[in-house]
């Protein structure tokens, strides 16, 4: 009886915790349908689909989102390629310097973003590199590499090398073995890493703020708007990014479950 | 005779070439990513260190070992430093209290829905950071439901408010870094073998004691990782103080940000950055000592 009650207590607690996690998100989604009379979108004034039908009617929002998506796509592609190679080296080989490599992978994740942003700013100032799209891209690739390495490495550790040996025994060379055996097996890890990198990039504010020059990404646009008035169109884009990202993760989780069942 | 010699040396040469390739292979795989991190992470840190010892006014700075930048920066912004450590410490403790039961519940009660629940926990954080924080502005607003309820039950005075107070800033930080706490806790709790807990219950015959003696020690690596991953970004944050607080709640991140981007006193800003990193490092070391590294490694070895 008491044990059953305690079980319930934990269930109820978890339910409340999940509600707490989703409360701000519910507010964001609800206010994307708000019809504010003035410039402020803080109080509920009435329901409308207008913001969803014309999200880019608010000046500057479209271009900012476009820059964010371009940077997220490019930086996640580059960081996934570089990070996957590093992960392969770390798991597959014993070599001098692997400990310092691990350290160099770990330190960026343990450094406050503001310090990374500030140090990159001083680098670009010293080298007289004008800030803009290129410097944002460089910064995003930099902070994404570590996360890609950690994600792909987790997948590689449980990898059965006998499968590669079998492929080589059957006459495939190293390149064919890599493309037909190794890559498909670690693909879920690579996919998860690139999704994570994409999400981190499109959400980044602090490092971008220090290195954007005059270019505006979506988070920078929100920051600028927060000083004057936040239009409901921002909630529309925020909700859309949320739906796409969670949808992508859901597909990845389901795909991995199906593979696990088949295996 | 000569044919025999070539026959024996050929495979040898092939072996040595294969060994050479294996020797160079990891470095070839590593170098693109590592070079990127060296140029755009390590080198910038060196420039930041150099900047912290310079003097002058924007845009003319000269390097002259100005160690006083550090003492000047600390004495000028002592309040913001202490406030940063207090806010991020409080937020980390609250996040741990919220996350541990949740991670426990997913790990031991989640069953085959574990991954789905985990996704539910992470999902809110795919709404842009700034938009999430603005949502808390709406929730904690003076005419919002939370403030009205708290006023009705007299936890707040008739004109008491949450927005623009320390409470709002700590609440924002707690919420925004929660996944960094939940995920490592979940990973370490998920690895705990349920049979160990059953055995403990058979021996101790008390759920509380079996939790304290078995589950909790085994999950300490997760607690350790979660606390670090939450505390470090929280200590450098300036967004929550800016959007949910007033200059009276500003943290060291706000100072670094404005010194770099508005005042353009780069040496002071650089010195402040290093003091922040140094303070974090010291606290991490103290925390490691408190939690006991021996127990941690023993727990890690047991999982």
- Long-range CB pairs of B293-298 (<8 Å, 24+ gap) are B295/B217, B295/B220, B296/B220, B296/B221, B296/B224
DSSP B211: I
What tens digit of pLDDT does each residue of B181-206 get?
A: 999 999 899 888 888 888 888 886 68
Give me the residues paired with residue B57 across strands: B60
- Positive or negative torsion for Cα B97, B102, B107, B108: positive
- Indicate whether B67 belongs to any domain: no
> In this structure, are B19 and B93 located in the same domain?
no
For residue B133, what are the CA distances in angstroms to A35, B209, B241? 21, 40, 10
User: Any idea how long chain B is?
Assistant: 303
Q: For A70-93, what is the mean pLDDT?
A: 94
> In this structure, are B22 and B124 located in the same domain?
no
Cα nearest neighbour of A123 on chain B: B44
Among A17, A48, A26, CA closest to A238: A26
What tens digit of pLDDT does each residue of B227-249 get?
A: 999 999 999 999 999 999 999 99
A163 inside 8 A of chain B by CB? no
> In this structure, are B172 and B291 located in the same domain?
yes
> In this structure, are B46 and B178 located in the same domain?
no
C-alpha B47/C-alpha A124 separation (Å) is: 10
Better pLDDT: A164 or B52: B52
C-alpha A199/C-alpha A80 separation (Å) is: 13
Q: For A114-132, what is the mean pLDDT?
A: 94
For residue A125, what are the CA distances in angstroms to B61, B76, B83, B261? 12, 26, 31, 13
B250 inside 8 A of chain A by CB? no
At residue B293, the pLDDT reads 54
Cα nearest neighbour of B24 on chain A: A95
- Indicate whether B61 belongs to any domain: no
> In this structure, are B108 and B241 located in the same domain?
yes
Domain count, chain B: 2
C-alpha B259/C-alpha B52 separation (Å) is: 12
Contact A67, A215 (CB under 8 A): yes
Number of H helices, E strands in chain B: 16, 2
pLDDT score of A113 more than 90: yes
What tens digit of pLDDT does each residue of A136-156 get?
A: 999 999 999 999 999 999 888
A212 inside 8 A of chain B by CB? no
> In this structure, are B280 and B197 located in the same domain?
yes
A2 inside 8 A of chain B by CB? no
DSSP B156: S
Residue B25: both structure tokens together: 């292979």
Q: Is there a contact between A28 and B239 if contact means CB atoms under 8 Å apart?
A: no
pLDDT score of B294 more than 80: no
Q: Is there a contact between A92 and B26 if contact means CB atoms under 8 Å apart?
A: yes
> Tokens 């005075």, residue?
B157
How would you class A38 by CB atoms within 10 Å of its CB: exposed for 0-12, middle for 13-18, buried for 19 or more?
exposed
Helix (H) or strand (E) holding B103: helix B78-109
Tell me which range, A138-147, B140-149, B284-293, is most confidently predicted by mean pLDDT.
A138-147
C-alpha A220/C-alpha A139 separation (Å) is: 15
A198 inside 8 A of chain B by CB? no
HSE on the CB side for B143, CA within 13 Å? 3
Q: Tell me the CATH number at B148.
A: 1.10.3720.10
- Indicate whether B139 belongs to any domain: yes
User: Any idea how long chain A is?
Assistant: 263
What's the whole-number average pLDDT of chain A? 89
Domain that holds residue B77: 72-302
Q: Is there a contact between A42 and B120 if contact means CB atoms under 8 Å apart?
A: no
B206 inside 8 A of chain A by CB? no
Give me the residues paired with residue B61 across strands: B56
Cα A61 to chain center, whole Å?
21
> Residues of B with CB below 8 A from A226's CB?
130, 134, 243
Longest Cα separation, chain B: 106
Q: Which positions 216-235 of A are in contact with B (Cβ < 8 Å)? A: 218-219, 222-223, 226, 230, 234-235
> In this structure, are B284 and B180 located in the same domain?
yes
How would you class B167 by CB atoms within 10 Å of its CB: exposed for 0-12, middle for 13-18, buried for 19 or more?
middle
For residue B139, what are the CA distances in angstroms to A232, B92, B164, B286? 16, 21, 13, 36
Residue A82: both structure tokens together: 């570089």
Q: Is there a contact between B228 and A203 if contact means CB atoms under 8 Å apart?
A: no
Give me the residues paired with residue B56 across strands: B61
CA distance B1 to chain A (A): 33
3-state helix, strand, coil in chain A (%, to 5): 80, 0, 20
Q: Is there a contact between B136 and A11 if contact means CB atoms under 8 Å apart?
A: no
Q: Which positions 140-159 of B are in contact with A (Cβ < 8 Å)? A: 141, 143
Q: What is the signed CA dihedral for B78, B84, B87, B88, rounded to 10 degrees?
A: -140
> In this structure, are B105 and B155 located in the same domain?
yes
> In this structure, are B188 and B43 located in the same domain?
no
- Indicate whether B142 belongs to any domain: yes
Domain ranges of chain A: 59-262
- Indicate whether B135 belongs to any domain: yes
What one-character-per-residue DSSP string does B138-188 give?
HHTSTTSHHHHHHHHTTSS-TT--STTSHHHHHHHHHHHTHHHHHHHHHHH
Tell me which range, A176-185, B131-140, B191-200, is most confidently predicted by mean pLDDT.
B131-140
pLDDT level of residue B37 (50, 70, 90 thresholds): very high
C-alpha B139/C-alpha B137 separation (Å) is: 6
Cα nearest neighbour of B109 on chain A: A11
Q: Is there a contact between B273 and A126 if contact means CB atoms under 8 Å apart?
A: no
pLDDT level of residue B4 (50, 70, 90 thresholds): very low
pLDDT > 70 fraction of chain A, expressed in percent and rounded: 97
Cα A90 to chain center, whole Å?
23
Residue B230: both structure tokens together: 């939450």
> In this structure, are B44 and B162 located in the same domain?
no
C-alpha B150/C-alpha A232 separation (Å) is: 28
C-alpha A121/C-alpha A45 separation (Å) is: 43
- Positive or negative torsion for Cα B81, B84, B90, B95: negative
pLDDT level of residue B290 (50, 70, 90 thresholds): confident
pLDDT level of residue B23 (50, 70, 90 thresholds): confident
HSE on the CB side for A109, CA within 13 Å? 20
At residue B18, the pLDDT reads 52
Number of H helices, E strands in chain A: 12, 0
Helix (H) or strand (E) holding A1: none
- Indicate whether B62 belongs to any domain: no
Cα nearest neighbour of A121 on chain B: B44
Which CATH fold would you assign to the domain A59-262? Answer: MetI-like fold (1.10.3720)
Contact B179, B160 (CB under 8 A): no
CB atoms near residue A57 (< 10 Å): 12
Helix (H) or strand (E) holding B177: none
What tens digit of pLDDT does each residue of B276-285 get?
A: 999 988 888 8
- Indicate whether B156 belongs to any domain: yes
Q: What is the ipTM of this complex?
A: 0.90
A57 inside 8 A of chain B by CB? no
pLDDT score of B296 more than 80: no
């Amino acid at each position: 009886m008491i044990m059953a009650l305690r079980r319930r207590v934990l269930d109820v607690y978890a339910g409340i915790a999940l509600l707490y996690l989703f409360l701000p998100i519910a507010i964001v989604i609800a206010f994307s349908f708000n019809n504010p009379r003035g410039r402020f979108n803080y109080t509920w004034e009435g329901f409308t689909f207008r913001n969803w039908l014309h999200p880019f009617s608010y000046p500057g929002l479209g271009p900012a989102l476009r820059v964010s998506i371009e940077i997220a796509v490019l930086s996640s592609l580059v960081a996934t390629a570089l990070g996957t190679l590093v992960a392969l080296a770390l798991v597959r080989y014993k070599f001098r310097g692997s400990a310092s490599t691990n350290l160099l992978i770990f330190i960026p994740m343990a450094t406050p973003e503001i310090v990374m942003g500030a140090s990159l700013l001083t680098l670009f100032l010293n080298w007289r590199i004008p800030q803009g799209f290129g410097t944002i891209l460089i910064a995003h690739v930099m902070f994404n590499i570590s996360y890609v390495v950690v994600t792909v490495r987790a997948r590689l550790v449980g990898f059965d090398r006998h499968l590669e040996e079998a492929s080589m025994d059957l006459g495939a060379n190293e390149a064919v073995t890599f493309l037909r055996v190794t890559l498909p097996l670690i693909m879920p890890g690579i996919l998860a890493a690139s999704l994570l990198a994409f999400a981190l990039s499109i959400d980044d504010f602090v490092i971008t703020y220090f290195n954007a020059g005059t270019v505006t990404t979506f988070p920078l646009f929100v920051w600028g708007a927060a000083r004057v008035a936040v239009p409901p169109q921002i909630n529309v884009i925020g909700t859309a990014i949320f739906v796409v990202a969670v949808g992508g993760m859901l597909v990845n989780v389901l795909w991995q479950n199906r593979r696990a069942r088949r295996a | 005779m000569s044919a025999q010699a070539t026959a024996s040396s050929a495979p040898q040469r092939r072996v040595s070439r294969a060994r050479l390739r294996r020797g160079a292979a990891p470095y070839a795989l590593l170098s693109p990513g590592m070079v990127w991190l060296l140029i755009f992470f390590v080198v910038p840190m060196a420039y930041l260190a150099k900047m912290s010892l310079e003097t002058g006014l924007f845009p003319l700075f000269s390097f002259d070992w100005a160690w006083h930048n550090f003492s000047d920066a600390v004495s000028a912004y002592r309040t913001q430093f202490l406030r940063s450590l207090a806010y991020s410490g409080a937020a980390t403790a609250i996040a741990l209290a919220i996350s541990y039961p949740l991670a426990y519940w997913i790990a031991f009660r989640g069953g085959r829905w574990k991954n789905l629940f985990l996704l539910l926990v992470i999902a809110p954080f795919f709404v842009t950071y700034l938009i999430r924080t603005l949502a808390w502005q709406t929730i904690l607003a003076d005419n919002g439901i939370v403030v009205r309820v708290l006023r009705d039950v007299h936890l707040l005075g008739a004109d008491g408010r949450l927005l623009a107070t320390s409470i709002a800033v700590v609440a924002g930080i707690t919420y925004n870094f929660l996944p960094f706490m939940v995920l490592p806790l979940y990973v370490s709790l998920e690895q705990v073998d349920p049979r160990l807990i059953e055995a403990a219950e058979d021996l101790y015959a008390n759920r509380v004691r079996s939790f304290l003696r078995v589950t909790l020690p085994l999950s300490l690596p997760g607690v350790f990782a979660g606390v670090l991953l939450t505390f470090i970004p929280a200590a450098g944050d300036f967004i929550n103080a800016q959007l949910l607080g007033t200059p009276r709640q500003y943290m060291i991140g706000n100072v670094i940000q404005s010194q770099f981007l508005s005042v353009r006193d780069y040496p002071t800003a650089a010195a402040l950055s290093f003091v922040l990193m140094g303070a974090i490092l010291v606290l991490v070391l103290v925390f490691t000592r408190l939690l006991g590294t021996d127990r941690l490694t023993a727990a890690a070895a047991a999982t």
